[in-house]
C-alpha cells in the first residue's frame, strides 16, 4: 500500500503592511485611554514585523461593518486567493485539477453557499465526481485534521487529494473601545491573511505523512473561542493557553515519536504553529529544543503573523525551501478545545 505524500505546496497572500505602520496608521487611534498604552506594548512585543491583509485597515476600516457585509467580502477576496494557492500546489505536484479525487477546504473566517470548494472546483475544472469536504470553525489547527482526512482518502482510494486552508482574519477587526480587553488587543496584534494548498498523492517524492494525532483538553474549552457576532467574528484568547499547552505537548509528541521508533533528537525540522511568542517559548522549553529548532516558526510569525489554519503549512513550505536537511519533520498546531494536533512527516525523494 502506497504511503500518502505531500507532493506539492502552494501559497498565496494578499498585500502586506508593516506592523509599525498598522499601529501608527490605524490601531493607535482604535484604542484610547489606558488601553492605548497597553495595546502599544502588546503590538511591539507580538513577534510580528509584517503581515498581510486582504482588507487593509490603513485603506479600509471594516470595524463597523455588520457580519453580512463581511461575509460578502470574504467570498470576493478568498476565491482568487484560494485559486492562486491551489494552482501553485497542483503545478508543484505535476497534476491537473481533473486528477483530484477529494478536495478539502478549511476556513473559519468566512461562510458562503455555494462555498469555496464548489466555486473553485468549477473554476479550476475539477471532475464532476470529485468529492468535497468543508472544515469550518476548527481554527488554527485545522490544517492537520485536513491532512489526516486527505491521507486517509489517498490510502483508501489510491487517488490524489487536495487540501486548501484559506483565512481572512482582516475581515474581523472589532469596533474600537476604551474598555481594556487584552484578548482583543492580542488578536488584533497577531492575526493575518493567507491561503496555502497541499496536494497529497499515493507515493512519490515529497513529505510522507506517517501519522496525524491529537489530544483535546475539554476542561479548558472556554480558553479559546471564536464567536459569530453582529460585528463579525470575535476572538476569545485566554492568557492561560500557554500553561495548558505545557501540560500536554511533551506527552503528545513523545507518544507520536515512540510509535514510530523515533526520538526527539532525530527530528530535524519543527513546524510549530506560532500562536504568539509565548506559545513558541513554551513548546521550545517543554520539548527541550535547541535555539534554532523553532527558527522557521519564528520567522513565519515575524514575516506573516498568525494566519490561523494556513500558518503551519506556511512553515512547512519554508522548511522545504530553506532547510533541505529537514527530512524528518514534526508539525504541531493548537486551537479551540483546547486541542493540540501533531503530525510526523518523512521527506522522501
Together in a domain, 187 and 128: yes
**Start-to-end CA span in the chain (Å):** 18
Together in a domain, 162 and 92: yes
Q: Among 202, 234, 257, which residue terminates a domain?
A: 202
Q: Among 149, 173, 202, which residue terminates a domain?
A: 202
Together in a domain, 196 and 225: no
Together in a domain, 265 and 150: no
Kindly tell me if the per-residue pLDDT of 323 is higher than 90: no
CATH number at residue 212: 3.40.47.10
| Share of the chain residues as helix, strand and coil, in percent rounded to the nearest 5 | 45, 25, 30
Q: Among 202, 233, 258, which residue terminates a domain?
A: 202
Together in a domain, 107 and 121: yes
pLDDT of residue 34: 81
The band of 1, judged by pLDDT with boundaries at 50, 70 and 90, is: low
| Count: domains in the chain | 2
DSSP 53-77: -SS-TTT---TT--HHHHHHHHHHH
Kindly tell me if the per-residue pLDDT of 180 is higher than 80: no
pLDDT of residue 316: 97
Closest to 16 (Cα-Cα) out of 62, 56, 66: 56
Together in a domain, 197 and 233: no
Residue-wise pLDDT for 266-307, tens only, equals 999 999 999 999 999 999 999 999 989 999 999 999 999 999
For the residues 53-62, what does the mean pLDDT come to? 96
Residue-wise pLDDT for 127-156, tens only, equals 999 999 999 989 999 999 999 999 999 999
Kindly tell me if the per-residue pLDDT of 178 is higher than 80: no
Together in a domain, 113 and 243: no
Higher pLDDT: 310 or 179? It is 310
Together in a domain, 57 and 143: yes
Whole-number Å distance between alpha carbons of 298 and 331 = 14
Q: Residue 14 belongs to what domain range?
A: 4-202
Catalytic residue among 106, 140, 165, 307: 140
Kindly tell me if the per-residue pLDDT of 179 is higher than 80: no
The band of 325, judged by pLDDT with boundaries at 50, 70 and 90, is: confident
Residues in CB range of 210: below 8 A, 6 or more apart: 3, 260, 343, 344, 345, 346
Whole-number Å distance between alpha carbons of 292 and 312 = 17
Q: Could you give phi then psi for residue 95, rounded to 5 degrees?
A: -125, 165
Cell numbers 471594516 correspond to 62
Residue-wise pLDDT for 60-93, tens only, equals 999 999 999 999 999 999 999 999 999 999 999 9
For the residues 6-16, what does the mean pLDDT come to? 98
Whole-number Å distance between alpha carbons of 186 and 203 = 41
Kindly tell me if the per-residue pLDDT of 42 is higher than 90: yes
- 202 three-class SS: strand
* % pLDDT > 70, the chain: 99
C-alpha cell recorded at residue 70: 463581511
Kindly tell me if the per-residue pLDDT of 177 is higher than 80: no
* % pLDDT > 90, the chain: 90
DSSP state of 27: I
Whole-number Å distance between alpha carbons of 117 and 86 = 11
With 0-12 CB in 10 A as exposed, 13-18 as middle and 19+ as buried, what is 230? exposed
Together in a domain, 265 and 183: no
pLDDT of residue 326: 86
Residues in CB range of 282: below 8 A, 6 or more apart: 242, 243, 245, 246, 249
Together in a domain, 175 and 39: yes
The mean pLDDT value of the chain amounts to: 95
Kindly tell me if the per-residue pLDDT of 233 is higher than 80: yes
Together in a domain, 274 and 182: no
Active site (annotated) includes residue 140: yes
Together in a domain, 183 and 332: no
Amino acid at each position: 500500500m502506497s504511503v500518502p505524500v505531500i507532493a506539492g505546496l502552494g501559497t498565496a497572500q494578499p498585500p502586506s503592511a508593516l506592523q509599525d505602520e498598522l499601529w501608527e496608521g490605524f490601531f493607535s487611534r482604535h484604542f484610547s485611554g489606558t488601553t492605548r498604552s497597553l495595546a502599544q506594548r502588546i503590538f511591539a512585543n507580538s513577534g510580528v514585523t509584517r503581515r498581510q491583509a486582504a482588507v487593509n485597515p490603513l485603506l479600509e476600516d471594516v470595524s463597523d461593518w455588520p457580519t453580512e457585509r463581511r461575509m460578502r467580502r470574504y467570498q470576493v477576496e478568498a476565491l482568487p486567493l484560494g485559486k492562486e494557492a491551489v494552482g501553485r500546489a497542483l503545478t508543484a505536484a505535476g497534476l491537473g485539477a481533473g486528477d483530484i479525487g477529494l478536495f478539502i477546504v478549511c476556513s473559519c473566517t468566512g461562510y458562503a453557499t455555494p462555498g469555496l470548494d464548489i466555486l473553485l472546483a468549477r473554476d479550476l475544472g475539477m471532475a464532476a465526481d470529485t468529492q468535497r469536504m468543508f472544515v469550518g470553525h476548527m481554527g488554527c489547527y485545522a490544517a492537520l485534521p485536513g491532512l489526516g482526512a486527505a491521507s486517509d482518502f489517498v490510502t483508501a482510494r489510491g487517488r490524489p487529494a487536495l487540501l486548501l486552508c484559506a483565512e481572512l482574519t482582516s475581515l474581523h477587526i472589532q469596533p474600537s473601545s476604551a474598555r481594556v480587553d487584552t484578548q482583543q488587543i492580542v488578536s488584533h496584534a497577531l492575526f493575518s491573511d493567507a491561503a496555502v494548498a497541499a496536494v497529497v498523492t499515493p507515493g512519490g517524492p515529497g513529505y510522507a505523512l506517517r501519522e496525524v494525532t491529537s489530544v483535546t483538553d475539554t476542561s479548558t474549552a472556554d480558553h479559546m473561542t471564536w464567536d459569530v457576532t453582529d460585528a463579525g467574528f470575535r476572538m476569545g484568547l485566554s492568557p492561560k493557553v500557554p500553561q495548558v499547552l505545557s501540560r500536554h505537548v511533551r506527552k503528545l509528541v513523545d507518544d507520536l515519536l515512540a510509535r514510530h521508533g523515533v526520538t526527539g533528537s532525530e527530528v530535524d525540522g519543527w513546524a510549530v504553529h506560532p500562536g504568539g511568542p509565548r506559545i513558541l517559548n513554551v513548546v521550545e522549553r517543554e520539548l527541550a529544543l535547541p535555539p534554532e529548532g523553532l527558527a522557521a516558526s519564528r520567522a513565519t510569525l515575524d514575516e506573516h503573523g498568525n494566519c490561523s489554519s494556513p500558518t503551519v503549512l506556511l512553515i512547512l513550505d519554508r522548511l522545504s525551501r530553506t532547510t533541505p536537511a529537514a527530512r524528518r519533520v514534526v508539525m504541531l498546531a493548537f486551537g479551540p478545545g483546547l486541542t493540540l494536533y501533531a503530525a510526523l512527516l518523512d521527506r522522501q525523494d
